[in-house]
Amino acid sequence: MRWAAWRPVLAAAAIVMPSTGSAQALSPFCSDRPDRVVTPCVIEGGAVQLEIGAVDWARTRDGADRTDETLIADTVLRFGLGDEFDLRVGLSPLVRVRDVMGGRIEQHEGVGDLTVGLRRRIVDGGDDGVSFGLQLGATLPTGGDRLGQGDWSVEVVAPVQIPLGKILTLGLTPTVAAAADEDGDGRHFAWGGVAGIEAALGERVAVGTELYAIRNEEAGGATEATADAYATWRLSDGVQLDVAAYVGLNADTPDIELLSGITWRL
């Protein structure tokens, strides 16, 4: 791993690291990292937020064969549009794929796919009520067949957030999509979602667990499913660090995925 990929993250953390004696209350924070549950919240109008996956590594095994995929500095830039909308643009600037098949090794490296999305917060239930929203997203195949999907895709998600007392929150994210075919030529219908529970351990730390499943209705159908766990840590009012692990539950899903990153409200 190149330490250069970590330098911007470490520099940001050093600048904004709070003193241990600070008791200043933190303002609400809306980040889509690192879990798969999409929240209904939007960032405030006129605000800009940077969400960076410093490292995202996944391994898929099939007998003696395996594939390792690593994303470095996977980035989403969000823009607040008034009180109800935010716009997001994402890009994986460096994707590395390493295949080991029958003793033969193939490696690919380059830029990944470009994503764009628009979220609307329809109902804001605050700390005690149910919140929900709607998000439209699209992926453009800038990474080609090997480092990306190979074709364009679109999805619609309807995030729901339900407080369960003062500490726990239930998140639900039903999803439908016109997903890119595995061969990168055409699209198919996909549906599913995520259900997760998050626990706030004080004002700065949160942990959570979730179940994710997406059914791809392509060539007989296949279901991707994972059990996930994650943690977040607010360094300051505008900066949050995160780590997560996704564990595959069947043969159609990567065996393990580990990721860490930072959200920075600019």
pLDDT in tens, 186-245: 999 999 999 999 999 999 999 999 999 999 998 888 999 999 999 999 999 999 999 999
- Domain membership flag for residue 37: yes
- Domain membership flag for residue 1: no
Q: Judge contact between 263 and 49, C-beta under 8 A.
A: yes
Q: What is the pLDDT of residue 7?
A: 53
Strand partners, 110: 95
Q: What is the pLDDT of residue 24?
A: 60
Among residues 108, 104, 103, 74, which one has the least CA distance to residue 91?
Answer: 74
The H helix count followed by the E strand count for the chain is 2, 15
Chain segment 152-190, per-residue pLDDT in tens: 999 999 999 999 999 999 999 999 999 999 888 899 999
Q: Judge contact between 77 and 93, C-beta under 8 A.
A: no
Q: What percentage of the chain has pLDDT greater than the value 70?
A: 91
In the chain, how many domains are there? 1
Biggest alpha carbon–alpha carbon distance for the chain = 59
- Domain membership flag for residue 22: no
CATH number at residue 71: 2.40.128.130
- Domain membership flag for residue 18: no
What mean pLDDT is predicted for residues 92-112? Answer: 93
**pTM to 2 decimal places:** 0.87
- Domain membership flag for residue 51: yes
Beta strands in 141-204 (DSSP E): 153-157, 160-164, 168-180, 187-201
Chain segment 108-146, per-residue pLDDT in tens: 999 999 999 999 999 999 888 999 999 999 999 999 888
